Protein backbone atom coordinates (compact mmCIF):
# COMPACT_ATOMS: atom_id res chain seq x y z
CA UNK A 1 0.00 0.00 0.00
CA UNK A 2 1.26 3.52 -0.83
CA UNK A 3 2.37 5.78 2.01
CA UNK A 4 -0.30 8.10 3.43
CA UNK A 5 -0.78 11.19 1.26
CA UNK A 6 1.41 10.10 -1.67
CA UNK A 7 -1.39 9.22 -4.12
CA UNK A 8 -3.16 12.15 -5.78
CA UNK A 9 -6.13 12.28 -8.09
CA UNK A 10 -5.33 13.58 -11.58
CA UNK A 11 -7.17 16.88 -11.27
CA UNK A 12 -7.51 19.64 -8.69
CA UNK A 13 -9.59 22.81 -8.57
CA UNK A 14 -8.00 26.25 -8.42
CA UNK A 15 -8.76 29.97 -8.40
CA UNK A 16 -6.32 32.87 -8.83
CA UNK A 17 -6.39 36.30 -7.20
CA UNK A 18 -4.98 39.28 -9.12
CA UNK A 19 -6.02 42.90 -9.71
CA UNK A 20 -8.20 42.65 -6.59
CA UNK A 21 -10.40 39.94 -8.08
CA UNK A 22 -10.73 36.16 -7.87
CA UNK A 23 -10.93 34.17 -11.09
CA UNK A 24 -13.65 31.62 -11.64
CA UNK A 25 -12.57 28.26 -10.11
CA UNK A 26 -11.51 25.70 -12.71
CA UNK A 27 -10.46 22.07 -12.85
CA UNK A 28 -6.81 21.66 -13.87
CA UNK A 29 -4.15 18.96 -13.82
CA UNK A 30 -2.84 18.31 -10.31
CA UNK A 31 0.70 17.38 -11.31
CA UNK A 32 1.98 20.96 -11.69
CA UNK A 33 1.27 24.62 -10.98
CA UNK A 34 2.48 27.67 -12.88
CA UNK A 35 4.63 29.80 -10.58
CA UNK A 36 7.26 32.46 -11.19
CA UNK A 37 10.67 31.70 -9.64
CA UNK A 38 10.34 34.99 -7.76
CA UNK A 39 6.94 34.13 -6.30
CA UNK A 40 6.37 35.51 -2.81
CA UNK A 41 5.64 32.05 -1.37
CA UNK A 42 9.06 30.72 -2.39
CA UNK A 43 10.96 33.51 -0.66
CA UNK A 44 8.77 34.73 2.20
CA UNK A 45 6.63 31.66 3.02
CA UNK A 46 3.23 33.19 2.33
CA UNK A 47 1.46 29.83 2.48
CA UNK A 48 -1.22 28.11 4.51
CA UNK A 49 -3.25 24.95 4.09
CA UNK A 50 -5.98 22.80 5.60
CA UNK A 51 -6.62 19.10 6.00
CA UNK A 52 -10.09 17.59 6.06
CA UNK A 53 -11.70 14.38 4.89
CA UNK A 54 -14.67 13.02 2.95
CA UNK A 55 -16.16 9.65 3.89
CA UNK A 56 -18.17 7.03 2.01
CA UNK A 57 -21.29 5.76 3.77
CA UNK A 58 -22.82 2.30 3.39
CA UNK A 59 -25.37 3.52 0.82
CA UNK A 60 -22.55 4.82 -1.38
CA UNK A 61 -23.12 8.50 -0.61
CA UNK A 62 -20.12 10.71 0.23
CA UNK A 63 -19.97 13.27 3.05
CA UNK A 64 -17.38 15.92 3.92
CA UNK A 65 -16.62 16.25 7.64
CA UNK A 66 -16.64 19.70 9.31
CA UNK A 67 -15.88 21.65 6.15
CA UNK A 68 -17.15 24.92 7.65
CA UNK A 69 -14.67 24.74 10.56
CA UNK A 70 -11.72 24.07 8.26
CA UNK A 71 -12.70 26.90 5.91
CA UNK A 72 -13.02 29.30 8.86
CA UNK A 73 -9.56 28.30 10.09
CA UNK A 74 -8.08 28.72 6.61
CA UNK A 75 -9.56 32.20 6.34
CA UNK A 76 -7.98 32.96 9.70
CA UNK A 77 -4.58 31.61 8.59
CA UNK A 78 -4.77 33.64 5.37
CA UNK A 79 -5.60 36.79 7.33
CA UNK A 80 -2.76 36.26 9.82
CA UNK A 81 -0.34 35.75 6.89
CA UNK A 82 -1.76 38.78 5.05
CA UNK A 83 -2.75 36.68 2.06
CA UNK A 84 -5.70 37.92 -0.02
CA UNK A 85 -9.09 37.29 1.56
CA UNK A 86 -11.63 34.97 -0.07
CA UNK A 87 -15.30 34.24 0.44
CA UNK A 88 -15.98 31.13 2.49
CA UNK A 89 -18.70 30.23 -0.01
CA UNK A 90 -16.17 30.17 -2.87
CA UNK A 91 -13.89 27.69 -1.12
CA UNK A 92 -16.89 25.63 0.01
CA UNK A 93 -18.02 25.35 -3.59
CA UNK A 94 -14.50 24.46 -4.76
CA UNK A 95 -14.17 21.69 -2.16
CA UNK A 96 -17.64 20.32 -2.83
CA UNK A 97 -17.18 20.40 -6.60
CA UNK A 98 -13.84 18.57 -6.65
CA UNK A 99 -15.01 15.93 -4.16
CA UNK A 100 -18.19 15.41 -6.20
CA UNK A 101 -16.10 15.11 -9.38
CA UNK A 102 -14.14 12.23 -7.85
CA UNK A 103 -16.76 10.86 -5.47
CA UNK A 104 -16.39 7.39 -6.98
CA UNK A 105 -12.71 7.39 -5.89
CA UNK A 106 -13.55 7.89 -2.20
CA UNK A 107 -12.41 4.73 -0.38
CA UNK A 108 -14.61 2.61 1.84
CA UNK A 109 -14.03 2.96 5.62
CA UNK A 110 -11.60 2.92 7.30
CA UNK A 111 -10.18 4.75 4.28
CA UNK A 112 -11.25 8.26 3.30
CA UNK A 113 -10.64 11.04 0.79
CA UNK A 114 -8.10 13.47 2.24
CA UNK A 115 -8.80 17.04 1.10
CA UNK A 116 -5.95 19.58 1.04
CA UNK A 117 -6.94 23.21 0.33
CA UNK A 118 -3.80 25.35 -0.09
CA UNK A 119 -3.34 29.12 -0.41
CA UNK A 120 -0.03 30.58 -1.62
CA UNK A 121 1.30 34.04 -2.49
CA UNK A 122 2.26 34.23 -6.17
CA UNK A 123 3.42 37.81 -6.78
CA UNK A 124 6.87 37.88 -8.40
CA UNK A 125 8.48 40.40 -6.06
CA UNK A 126 11.63 39.50 -4.15
CA UNK A 127 11.72 43.02 -2.70
CA UNK A 128 8.61 42.34 -0.64
CA UNK A 129 10.20 40.83 2.46
CA UNK A 130 8.19 43.26 4.58
CA UNK A 131 5.09 43.53 2.42
CA UNK A 132 2.27 41.14 1.50
CA UNK A 133 1.73 39.50 -1.86
CA UNK A 134 -0.77 41.20 -4.17
CA UNK A 135 -1.67 37.97 -5.98
CA UNK A 136 -2.29 34.41 -4.85
CA UNK A 137 -3.37 30.93 -5.85
CA UNK A 138 -6.00 28.92 -3.98
CA UNK A 139 -6.28 25.25 -4.89
CA UNK A 140 -7.73 22.00 -3.55
CA UNK A 141 -5.93 18.65 -3.91
CA UNK A 142 -7.46 15.22 -3.25
CA UNK A 143 -5.65 12.14 -1.97
CA UNK A 144 -7.42 8.82 -1.24
CA UNK A 145 -5.90 7.50 2.00
CA UNK A 146 -5.94 4.64 4.46
CA UNK A 147 -4.78 4.70 8.08
CA UNK A 148 -2.13 7.34 8.86
CA UNK A 149 -0.25 4.89 11.10
CA UNK A 150 0.10 1.97 8.70
CA UNK A 151 1.38 -0.34 11.44
CA UNK A 152 -2.08 -0.43 12.97
CA UNK A 153 -3.15 0.48 16.49
CA UNK A 154 -0.02 0.89 18.56
CA UNK A 155 0.78 3.32 21.33
CA UNK A 156 3.25 6.05 20.37
CA UNK A 157 6.52 7.05 22.01
CA UNK A 158 6.60 10.81 22.67
CA UNK A 159 9.53 12.95 23.81
CA UNK A 160 8.70 15.80 26.20
CA UNK A 161 10.68 18.86 25.09
CA UNK A 162 10.83 21.73 27.60
CA UNK A 163 13.56 23.84 26.00
CA UNK A 164 12.29 24.34 22.47
CA UNK A 165 8.94 25.20 20.91
CA UNK A 166 7.18 24.10 17.76
CA UNK A 167 7.08 27.56 16.21
CA UNK A 168 7.09 31.25 17.04
CA UNK A 169 4.27 31.87 19.57
CA UNK A 170 2.47 34.40 17.37
CA UNK A 171 2.40 31.84 14.53
CA UNK A 172 0.85 29.00 16.53
CA UNK A 173 -2.70 29.55 15.27
CA UNK A 174 -1.58 29.59 11.63
CA UNK A 175 -1.63 26.30 9.72
CA UNK A 176 1.44 27.12 7.66
CA UNK A 177 4.19 24.96 6.22
CA UNK A 178 6.88 26.94 8.03
CA UNK A 179 5.61 25.74 11.41
CA UNK A 180 6.01 22.12 10.35
CA UNK A 181 9.45 22.80 8.88
CA UNK A 182 10.64 24.40 12.13
CA UNK A 183 9.59 21.31 14.11
CA UNK A 184 11.13 18.79 11.70
CA UNK A 185 14.72 19.01 12.91
CA UNK A 186 13.89 18.33 16.58
CA UNK A 187 11.50 15.52 15.59
CA UNK A 188 14.14 13.79 13.46
CA UNK A 189 16.68 14.14 16.27
CA UNK A 190 14.21 12.65 18.77
CA UNK A 191 13.49 9.79 16.40
CA UNK A 192 17.17 9.06 15.97
CA UNK A 193 18.19 9.39 19.63
CA UNK A 194 15.13 8.05 21.45
CA UNK A 195 13.14 6.19 18.77
CA UNK A 196 10.35 8.69 19.52
CA UNK A 197 7.39 8.97 17.16
CA UNK A 198 6.77 12.60 18.01
CA UNK A 199 7.78 15.50 20.27
CA UNK A 200 5.34 17.08 22.71
CA UNK A 201 6.55 20.67 22.93
CA UNK A 202 6.37 21.99 26.49
CA UNK A 203 8.28 25.32 26.53
CA UNK A 204 9.12 26.24 30.10
CA UNK A 205 7.21 23.17 31.27
CA UNK A 206 3.89 24.29 29.69
CA UNK A 207 2.32 21.30 27.89
CA UNK A 208 1.25 22.46 24.41
CA UNK A 209 1.12 20.35 21.21
CA UNK A 210 3.23 17.97 19.16
CA UNK A 211 4.82 18.70 15.81
CA UNK A 212 1.69 17.70 13.91
CA UNK A 213 -1.16 17.07 16.36
CA UNK A 214 -2.93 18.34 19.47
CA UNK A 215 -2.49 16.53 22.80
CA UNK A 216 -5.03 15.31 25.36
CA UNK A 217 -4.65 13.56 28.70
CA UNK A 218 -7.43 11.27 29.97
CA UNK A 219 -7.50 10.80 33.75
CA UNK A 220 -10.43 8.59 34.76
CA UNK A 221 -13.50 10.43 33.43
CA UNK A 222 -11.70 13.73 32.84
CA UNK A 223 -10.03 15.00 29.67
CA UNK A 224 -7.33 17.62 30.23
CA UNK A 225 -5.97 19.66 27.34
CA UNK A 226 -4.36 23.07 27.00
CA UNK A 227 -6.78 25.98 26.78
CA UNK A 228 -6.90 27.62 23.35
CA UNK A 229 -4.57 30.56 22.82
CA UNK A 230 -2.52 31.98 19.94
CA UNK A 231 0.53 29.75 20.55
CA UNK A 232 -0.83 26.50 19.10
CA UNK A 233 -3.19 25.21 16.43
CA UNK A 234 -6.91 25.10 17.19
CA UNK A 235 -7.54 21.58 15.96
CA UNK A 236 -10.88 20.67 14.41
CA UNK A 237 -10.42 17.04 15.45
CA UNK A 238 -9.52 18.25 18.96
CA UNK A 239 -12.78 20.20 19.13
CA UNK A 240 -14.73 17.22 17.76
CA UNK A 241 -13.24 14.82 20.34
CA UNK A 242 -13.95 17.21 23.21
CA UNK A 243 -17.54 17.65 22.02
CA UNK A 244 -18.04 13.88 21.79
CA UNK A 245 -16.46 13.44 25.24
CA UNK A 246 -19.02 15.84 26.72
CA UNK A 247 -21.80 13.94 24.92
CA UNK A 248 -20.53 10.76 26.60
CA UNK A 249 -20.68 12.40 30.03
CA UNK A 250 -16.96 13.02 30.44
CA UNK A 251 -15.56 16.12 32.12
CA UNK A 252 -13.51 18.35 29.81
CA UNK A 253 -10.91 20.65 31.40
CA UNK A 254 -9.30 23.12 29.01
CA UNK A 255 -6.50 24.66 31.06
CA UNK A 256 -2.76 25.05 31.28
CA UNK A 257 -0.87 22.20 32.91
CA UNK A 258 2.77 21.35 33.44
CA UNK A 259 5.10 18.48 32.57
CA UNK A 260 5.29 17.72 36.30
CA UNK A 261 1.50 17.28 36.52
CA UNK A 262 1.46 15.32 33.26
CA UNK A 263 3.99 12.76 34.48
CA UNK A 264 2.33 12.52 37.89
CA UNK A 265 -1.06 11.78 36.38
CA UNK A 266 0.36 9.50 33.66
CA UNK A 267 1.80 7.19 36.31
CA UNK A 268 -1.67 6.40 37.69
CA UNK A 269 -3.33 3.13 36.58
CA UNK A 270 -5.96 3.76 33.92
CA UNK A 271 -4.58 7.12 32.79
CA UNK A 272 -4.38 7.59 29.02
CA UNK A 273 -2.84 10.10 26.65
CA UNK A 274 -3.49 10.66 22.96
CA UNK A 275 -2.74 12.81 19.93
CA UNK A 276 -5.60 14.22 17.86
CA UNK A 277 -5.55 15.40 14.26
CA UNK A 278 -7.24 14.94 10.88
CA UNK A 279 -4.69 12.37 9.74
CA UNK A 280 -4.02 10.63 13.08
CA UNK A 281 -7.68 10.94 14.25
CA UNK A 282 -7.01 9.97 17.90
CA UNK A 283 -3.91 7.89 18.55
CA UNK A 284 -2.79 6.69 21.97
CA UNK A 285 0.53 7.59 23.58
CA UNK A 286 2.09 4.71 25.55
CA UNK A 287 5.45 6.15 26.60
CA UNK A 288 6.80 9.57 27.53
CA UNK A 289 10.54 10.22 27.33
CA UNK A 290 11.79 12.97 29.65
CA UNK A 291 15.35 13.85 30.64
CA UNK A 292 16.58 10.52 29.29
CA UNK A 293 14.06 8.46 31.27
CA UNK A 294 11.03 6.56 29.98
CA UNK A 295 7.62 6.81 31.66
CA UNK A 296 4.78 4.46 30.79
CA UNK A 297 1.31 5.96 30.39
CA UNK A 298 -1.05 3.58 32.19
CA UNK A 299 -0.04 0.12 30.96
CA UNK A 300 1.77 1.51 27.93
CA UNK A 301 -0.83 0.20 25.49
CA UNK A 302 -3.60 1.92 23.48
CA UNK A 303 -6.18 3.05 26.03
CA UNK A 304 -9.85 1.94 25.97
CA UNK A 305 -11.22 5.46 26.52
CA UNK A 306 -9.20 6.91 23.64
CA UNK A 307 -10.27 4.00 21.44
CA UNK A 308 -13.91 4.58 22.43
CA UNK A 309 -13.67 8.29 21.58
CA UNK A 310 -11.98 7.51 18.27
CA UNK A 311 -14.67 4.96 17.40
CA UNK A 312 -17.44 7.40 18.34
CA UNK A 313 -15.93 9.99 15.99
CA UNK A 314 -15.48 7.43 13.21
CA UNK A 315 -19.07 6.24 13.62
CA UNK A 316 -20.33 9.77 12.94
CA UNK A 317 -17.95 10.20 9.99
CA UNK A 318 -18.91 6.82 8.53
CA UNK A 319 -22.67 7.41 8.96
CA UNK A 320 -23.08 4.68 11.59
CA UNK A 321 -24.19 7.07 14.32
CA UNK A 322 -26.34 10.20 14.44
CA UNK A 323 -24.71 13.44 13.30
CA UNK A 324 -26.46 15.57 15.91
CA UNK A 325 -23.99 18.45 15.61
CA UNK A 326 -24.43 18.92 11.85
CA UNK A 327 -20.83 18.11 11.01
CA UNK A 328 -21.43 16.27 7.72
CA UNK A 329 -22.02 17.86 4.31
CA UNK A 330 -23.34 15.62 1.54
CA UNK A 331 -21.71 16.13 -1.86
0.85 surpassed by pTM? yes
Integer-rounded Cα radius of gyration of the chain: 20
Backbone dihedral region of 192: left (phi > 0), alpha (psi from -120 to 50 degrees) or beta?
alpha
**Residue 48 to residue 180: CA distance in whole angstroms:** 11
Task: Please answer whether residues 143 and 114 qualify as being in contact, where contact means their C-beta atoms are separated by less than 8 angstroms.
Answer: yes
Residue 258: helix, strand or coil by DSSP?
strand
Which residues are CB-neighbours of 187 under 8 A, at least 6 positions away? 196, 198, 199, 211
Is residue 148 pLDDT above 90, yes or no?
no
Q: Identify the DSSP state of 133.
A: -
172: closest CA among 223, 114, 130, 214? 214
Q: Of 175, 226, 268, 296, which one is the catalytic site residue?
A: 175
287 — pLDDT class (breaks 50, 70, 90): very high
Is residue 213 pLDDT above 80, yes or no?
yes
Which residues are CB-neighbours of 8 under 8 A, at least 6 positions away? 30, 31, 141, 142, 143
Which residues are CB-neighbours of 39 under 8 A, at least 6 positions away? 120, 121, 122, 123, 124
Over residues 43-62, the mean pLDDT reads: 98
Per residue in 21-37, pLDDT (tens digit) is 999 999 999 999 999 99
Per residue in 149-167, pLDDT (tens digit) is 655 568 999 999 999 888 8
**Residue 25 to residue 48: CA distance in whole angstroms:** 19
Over residues 45-71, the mean pLDDT reads: 98
Q: How many CB atoms lie within 10 A of CB 157?
A: 19
Q: How many CA atoms lie within 13 A of 34 on its CB side?
A: 5
Is 175 catalytic? The answer is: yes
Task: Please answer whether residues 223 and 251 qualify as being in contact, where contact means their C-beta atoms are separated by less than 8 angstroms.
Answer: yes
Mean pLDDT, all residues of the chain: 95
86: closest CA among 24, 17, 19? 17
Kindly report the backbone phi and psi dihedral angles of residue 117, in degrees, each rounded to the nearest multiple of 5, phi listed first: -70, 140
More confident site: 53 or 149:
53
Domains, the chain, with CATH or none: 11-145 (3.30.470.10), 156-317 (3.20.10.10)
Amino acid sequence: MSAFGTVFLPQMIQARFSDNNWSKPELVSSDKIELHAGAHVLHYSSTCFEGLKAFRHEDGSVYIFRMDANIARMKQSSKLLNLPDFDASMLETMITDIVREFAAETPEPPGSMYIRPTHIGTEAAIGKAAAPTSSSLLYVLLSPVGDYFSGGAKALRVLLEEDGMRCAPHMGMVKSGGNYASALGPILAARNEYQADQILFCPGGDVQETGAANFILIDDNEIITKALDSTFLHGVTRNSILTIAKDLGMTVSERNFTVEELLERAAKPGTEAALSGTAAVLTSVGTFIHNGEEFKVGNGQPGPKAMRLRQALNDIQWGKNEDKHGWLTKV
